[in-house]
Amino acid sequence: MDIEVILLDEAREFISGLEEKARNKVLHDINKTKIGFRGEWFQKMSGTDDIWEFRTFYNKTYYRVFAFWYKSGNKDTLIVCTNGLVKKTDKTPVGEIGRAEKIKQEYMK
């Protein structure tokens, strides 16, 4: 079963602002998930309000796109991508996780 993935404005702007090869790698990882593959590139973040992240490593750089699962009634499963960042430290900035959680709350309303 295919999974629909949508990019909200912040996620779309983040991805479109990446260098072409990095952008293609991030989109490749998202597409693997869309067709049902599972792997280390898409993981649930512990200590969050059910926020997940697409984790892409390309050219010695880590890219993160935050997302959450959404399913309403008998509709198809949906992954909503909220925002992203170029990860420069081992720890993910709390503010970026908070932003993803806030976007999720607004979307669910």
C-alpha to C-alpha distance for 88 and 3, rounded to whole angstroms: 30
pLDDT in tens, 13-68: 999 999 999 999 999 999 999 988 889 999 999 999 899 999 999 999 999 999 99
- Over 80: is that where the pLDDT of 84 sits? yes
Mean pLDDT of 72-91: 84
Domains, the chain, with CATH or none: 4-108 (3.30.2310.20)
* DSSP calls for 12-81: HHHHHTS-HHHHHHHHHHHHHHHTT---TTEEEPTTSSS-EEEEEEETTEEEEEEEEEE--TTSPPEEEE
pTM equals 0.90
Q: Under a CB-based contact definition with an 8 Å cutoff, are residues 92 and 45 in contact?
A: yes
